[in-house]
Structure 1
């Protein structure tokens, strides 16, 4: 049958929901699966009828290239030519369609898109490629209100931040059969190692953290730091060359002093002129006698000993600084743990008139606990202490780096001093053998002459040092700006609102740790029930508790998105959530034969199943018309709400997503949509 539109007085959702899934076979026939906007939609039926393909079709048609229907239950790709979804975005209707990949290809990027206030479904012959997945993603992202952004952190150094789009909202829209009650993973595609980082960034973005400028500044900061490192390396090379050149001149001068050509100390600025003046020396020149006790060799030995002492002292300073850094890290970790425990205070009423009354059970307590205000004060103090440690960390790191640079300078100076001692010792030994002081002097002059002929003076590095100072100032300013744009407070405030929904809902679903504050952990992407260090979703035990964590988290996030007008589709798709309430998957699959049956016949927990659906119906009604819920199930409850939510008659006895007559018909030899 042709798709029926809602009457003119229908008030649409403020964001994206699904009006229908449409399949086209190669003969041009359409299979239309309609959905009600802003309500609960339930598809129930036997196994292998196509229920679990709903998520894959929605994902594929809204801009994902990967084709997941090769082995999907009940989806015979040999008869489906095009997959399509009809979307409602505010007052706008959008049709997106994509053909089945050719041959055995596992992906396909081309598609068709059309939009208008009222759309008529096109015929197969009218479906022609007019866009691709990037175009689909861009168009839908724009329609739901995702502005151009740089919300996703770069995956590699030097890359630009990526843009959050409709694709990144899907983490919060889909829960397939293997995910909906998983204790290890909470969000769609979280198990994909390539997704984790952008999933966290997306969560922050849709919770209200605007990090566009932050990523841009961090990119600039990395660029300037890399440039500064190059400048400092060049400067160190020039300084080393200058020091080596100066030490070479000093060694030449010391050799001249040993043979009496020069007497007394010579400043560094006079080294080169003094050496050049020695080239005029003649054999008849008067030689100066050098006292052995104060000889250049003995002076250099003393200098080498002093450098060795300074080197050991610098090593000690570095060890002390690194020990202080380890202690600071330990202190910060301890403060963070205390802070996490104290944040639970935000779920209590701070009205002092109820200080002796339990905020959870309303009973009077024998020993009233510390006031919420006192706990809040303690939390603020700890956060201030933690902020102080974080602010001191860059200065500590810079101090340790300076110490290491000074250590390297001492190491080089020590080596040069040892080289000079060795050279002077060799010169002294040679002088003892020559016995002719004049001959030794002549030899030194010849060596100085040869050295000066090959000498290439190191350029002045004043301009380079000025560039280094400018770079340090720019980096310092950028780090200060980034530090002042801390998004932690924004995220914590948003998560506190989400947790305020989750905690009472845990009690509604009769979860194991109901009564304890439940919160979303954005770092580890899991749910934590606060008690001591906290009990994570993975440690709560039982599939029903994991399912409860998924339901309270996803619905709480959607409530936050809707109330705060975040650009996330008002859509949640759950694939067979009631399976956890049955003794086995096989028992769960036997509960439908086309009639309404009592789930207790298959050993199911009737009360738990009814409690779950009552929770879902109530939450959707509270958020109507901005939340649409699609549930696929084997269960078929004999309740009014459940039966009214059925999209179609149960998929049994040959009924399913693909019409039986399509499957039995002979597919054409040639693909009619192939150009």
Structure 2
């Protein structure tokens, strides 16, 4: 069982309450002129049920209403939910007042409202009141995360704003907002009853295991070139022999992979290198490269020291700032002596205010000691600041010198490489250096993969677990259950399309849970709702879909709030002469729409409530008996009482 709306209440700053009552299990219509607050009914419900933003429009509501509230009923239970209007330029408020009441109790007085419940907690309370299991988590397509269903997801099926009720591109409330389509696709099967929460958990686990198996396979594929079967090591071994870095292997011998790797490691070990150049000569390029390596190491160490010093300075400044702030507050309150006055050092003086004490106590002595220590620490930390800043400046100056040295080294290397006339012996040495570098790179890369990559091979374990889950899930297929349930819902939609005399009513109609729209199948191909033409068709299919879904929700005891709010359905192609009960050409069509709504309510035996705000005012059943209030200029009635605004202007 879930809830319906018993009343909407508004509070002004004086504590006056304006309540609009509704009948549960019935059709409720509020009709009236424009700008009387009718459309705010839907926005107030959305706001009090935990919307993230303050979507209530209109100066009367934003300027003269202090608190918005709902009274919700579920069986014998009653829940009162109040949310204050944002103060100033705030986008919303993040606390609510949620109270359980005796059924039939009126809204509490403004002084009794306690806005202490955070928005996220309030959403959980409302979701539980709706009947949603808080332990349920549902997977979202193309995402590793799961989301819990909430009362906010139920609003997809309970609200139809003025720009949605006849929109050819949007079928559900807020469908065009970011992340909402993905949430709708995840929630629709759940609310239809086609999702077993335990099965959903297993399917999500299966998706994660498959993703993990893919990553594990990629990890092993990346490491494969460095395994013993690789020919890279053998090729480098041959190049090392050719460059004179290794002695040739015995003729006819076939070295194992481990022996080849051992020989390559010997090439990179620190040892006397073969003298490939005349005695007494030095290789300037090698010297420059060695100098560059040392400069880079020193540069990295200097940057690390600067980072550490700046971190220490920030932490010290933050701590000292807090101490000074607290000291200033105490001084402002007169709890500490002024900066110009010394802490009293007479044992009979108060360490705080300096007044004479009849009896010096141990507390006074301890306070004096702590105040002395606090002032000493503040002084010491303050004096340390110039030392740290000077050290940072010194290190940054060293960093600048290192940058200049690296730049000079680069210039010298380029000049030497471009200008030197290489001899044959130089060519041999350069070739040896190139091979030496390639071997070093190969061994470093292999070591990196060996250290971080492999470890235990979990591919067999993951494959086995995936097979077990697939076998567990093979018994029932959620997609088949969903298709079956949607087929039954589609039959209800078609029956209402026939009752409303909509186009395509005799063609098979289906609700597409992926495209989130209605489709009519015909020999000419599928026709989406956006292609069906005419505002009355768009409106009719919106109403038919929402009524059919709520019929199904009721039959399946789904935790969706059992109400539907429609904002001005008569706007879609109905002329203004219906406003005062006129009998224009659209009168019969509009009246038929309300008869279809009433028939659905009657079918569900009071387990469903519809609230409609309208311009039209039909003098025929079931419209006439369903009107709860008429807000017109002629009678001075509106959502916000006129004297609220008059009082504020007078002030």
Instruction: Give the one of 115, 125, 138 matched to 2:124.
Output: 138
- For each residue in 1:330-386, what CA deviation from the matched residue of structure 2 results, as whole angstroms up to 9, or x when unmatched? xxxxxxxxxxxxxxxxxxxxxxxxxxxxxxxxxxxxxxxxxxxxxxxxxxxxxxxxx
1:179 equivalent to 2:164? Answer yes
- SS of structure 2 residue aligned to 1:42: strand
- For each residue in 1:52-80, what CA deviation from the matched residue of structure 2 results, as whole angstroms up to 9, or x when unmatched? 111100000111131112437xx432211
Instruction: Give the one of 486, 490, 504 matched to 1:495.
Output: 486
Contact 2:64 2:645 in 1 (8 A): yes
Q: 1:32 aligns to what?
A: 19
- TM normalised by structure 2 equals 0.66
Instruction: Give the one of 483, 504, 518 matched to 1:513.
Output: 504
- Return the alpha-carbon distance in structure 2 between the equivalents of residues 648 and 451 of structure 1: 86
- Return the alpha-carbon distance in structure 1 between the equivalents of residues 12 and 447 of structure 2: 78
Contact 1:149 1:164 in 2 (8 A): no
1:470 equivalent to 2:461? Answer no
User: What is the RMSD of the two structures over their aligned residues, measured on CA atoms?
Assistant: 3.9
Q: How many residues align?
A: 478
Q: 2:392 aligns to what?
A: none
Contact 2:42 2:565 in 1 (8 A): yes
Unaligned runs of 5+ in 2: 268-423
Judge which range, 50-59 or 450-459, deviates more.
450-459
Q: 2:647 aligns to what?
A: 665
Alignment of 1:520-559 (within 5 A): 520-532=511-523, 533-559=525-551
- Return the alpha-carbon distance in structure 1 between the equivalents of residues 439 and 598 of structure 2: 93
Instruction: Give the one of 58, 66, 88 matched to 2:53.
Output: 66
Instruction: Give the one of 203, 208, 213 matched to 1:219.
Output: 208
Q: 1:462 to 1:657 in 2, by over 3 A?
A: closer
Q: 1:97 to 1:251 in 2, by over 3 A?
A: same
Instruction: Give the one of 192, 195, 213 matched to 1:207.
Output: 192
Q: Cα distance, 1:450 vs. partner?
A: 13
Q: 1:253 to 1:260 in 2, by over 3 A?
A: closer
Q: 1:260 to 1:251 in 2, by over 3 A?
A: closer
- Return the alpha-carbon distance in structure 2 between the equivalents of residues 580 and 251 of structure 1: 82
- Return the alpha-carbon distance in structure 2 between the equivalents of residues 453 and 106 of structure 1: 60
- Return the alpha-carbon distance in structure 2 between the equivalents of residues 186 and 611 of structure 1: 21
Q: Cα distance, 1:648 vs. partner?
A: 1.9
Q: 1:168 aligns to what?
A: 153
- SS of structure 2 residue aligned to 1:630: strand
Q: Cα distance, 1:204 vs. partner?
A: 1.9
Alignment of 1:132-531 (within 5 A): 132-149=118-135, 151-153=137-139, 160-208=145-193, 209=195, 210=197, 211-233=200-222, 235-236=223-224, 238-239=226-227, 243-251=231-239, 262-264=250-252, 266-268=254-256, 272=260, 469-475=457-463, 477-478=465-466, 481=469, 484=473, 486-531=477-522
- For each residue in 1:548-600, what CA deviation from the matched residue of structure 2 results, as whole angstroms up to 9, or x when unmatched? 111111111111111011101110011111222325xxxx3x654xxx52241
Q: 2:346 aligns to what?
A: none
Instruction: Give the one of 101, 104, 108 matched to 1:122.
Output: 108
- Return the alpha-carbon distance in structure 1 between the equivalents of residues 83 and 448 of structure 2: 67
Instruction: Give the one of 38, 44, 55 matched to 1:51.
Output: 38
- Return the alpha-carbon distance in structure 2 between the equivalents of residues 638 and 270 of structure 1: 97
- Return the alpha-carbon distance in structure 2 between the equivalents of residues 555 and 606 of structure 1: 21
Q: Cα distance, 1:645 vs. partner?
A: 0.7
Q: 1:58 to 1:461 in 2, by over 3 A?
A: closer
- Return the alpha-carbon distance in structure 1 between the equivalents of residues 261 and 648 of structure 2: 102
Q: 1:255 to 1:63 in 2, by over 3 A?
A: closer
Q: Cα distance, 1:227 vs. partner?
A: 4.8
Judge which range, 452-461 or 214-223, deviates more.
452-461
Unaligned runs of 5+ in 1: 1-13, 280-429, 431-439, 670-675
- Return the alpha-carbon distance in structure 1 between the equivalents of residues 134 and 260 of structure 2: 63
- SS of structure 2 residue aligned to 1:69: coil
Q: 1:400 aligns to what?
A: none
Q: Cα distance, 1:223 vs. partner?
A: 4.3
Q: 2:297 aligns to what?
A: none
